[in-house]
Structure 1
Amino acid sequence: MNTSPRILVVEDDRTVRTVVNDYLSGQGFSVTAVDNGSEVLARFAAERPALVVLDRMLPGLSGDEVCRALRATSDVPIIMLTALDAVPDRIAGLESGADDYLAKPFALKELKLRIEALLRRSRQAGAAPSEFGLGPFRVDPARRHIRRDGVPIPLTTREYELFLYLLNNPGRTISRDEILREVWQWQFGDPSTVTVHIRRLREKIEEDPRFPVHLKTEWGSGYRFDLRGGEG
């Protein structure tokens, strides 16, 4: 029985698709590669991959549309590939639900490392501690679930890791650079990645994201998480 992680690669450029498919297969992954967004949902339902590598610029359904459709039913890790390296384009990909992104051209080894990091975090649930509570939130590490007042909060892999890091550092102002190091395990990167994920978290945990009571912005410094939801 093949126990290699299944990776679904969605890329319309034949050369890129073939190179990524061959490289990841050679690194021990089981790879399914498709060339358009319309085919993704059926393949995803049939094969249940451990991770999706998704080109943003696709014929038919765009990568953003595919990402949103996957997010409606799954928290599978998604790495977005984009030929558009401008900050607004990267932000748009992250806001559609991607956990990570790589701008083309990219190094195959970096793609592999990003895949391994996301898969490693997904597998950590096997040795997870028991459930525990933090303020109004309850964390179930075994299933990587977080509930607020008993209501489950739907989180992607990256959102879960970010939220857990914030929960474990209540009342402390945390810079975006520190979040990139500790949550993304990047020594350098685009801070807007953190900004987008903070915004997505607020939409899920705050009653009114425009006026957050838990996840505060400390202008010029970073973010502060208040378990009690107090003022300030």
Structure 2
Amino acid sequence: MPETNNRENVPMQPQAGNPPACQPLTPRTVRARFLLLIVDPDTVGSKAVAAALQDRQIDVVCTDDPADAMLQAGALLPDAVLTAAQVPPMSGSAIARALHTHGCIPTLVGVGEHDGPEASLALALGATACVPRPYRVADILPILRSISPETAADFQAAIQVGALRLDPAAVEVRLRGRRIDLPLREFQLLHLLMLHAGRVVTRAQINQLVWSRDDEASNTLNVHIRRLRTRLGDDLRDPKIIISVRGLGYRLDTPDHQAGS
């Protein structure tokens, strides 16, 4: 009596090896900012990670409908797609295969505790990578950087310290909404001080990180601090934003939102 085949309804698993070849429909779109399409039935989680990524200068479009995702992908040609392992009625592996085969669009698949088999299938069918779900920006950003190295430097978050905002990607500083144009060294100096707002940054640290040297006796830092204070409207005799800490270095205090004199 022939052996009964108990696996008739089990989907065929792909053979190990290279994923199917991809055929891009059009040349890659050149954008000022990276565009990510998120496909996930958890709309709350999608919007949360989208907001965090937008702070990193990444444009994000979210949908919970796989059919809509396919239309969006065709119309927008995003730089990458992040899809959940299951987006009923489609699976993440099916979405990854379609995007890879018909558009060469890099696809990340979000996998949970029980999505191991789906993750393996997605990678075999052309997914670029799998990331843990719920999503974390720390897991997603390195993969997006590898997809688009030319925009990797743009994925830095803007910094807000009171009324002072610095955007590393746009190389832009605003104080109380007013744009302040800074030369590169002053921008780098302010960026460093804002990253350590409320804490003293020593002269040695500033010289090493901004000028890549250990010459603490140089007057260059003093000159740049004075110019930076002037551009920020700080009082040179009694500074309120960039504070000198005698014998140590400088501390950036939080500028208030009141209009300056």
TM-score, normalisation: structure 1: 0.48
Identify, as 1 or 2, the structure richer in helix.
1
Relative to the length of structure 2, the TM-score reads: 0.43
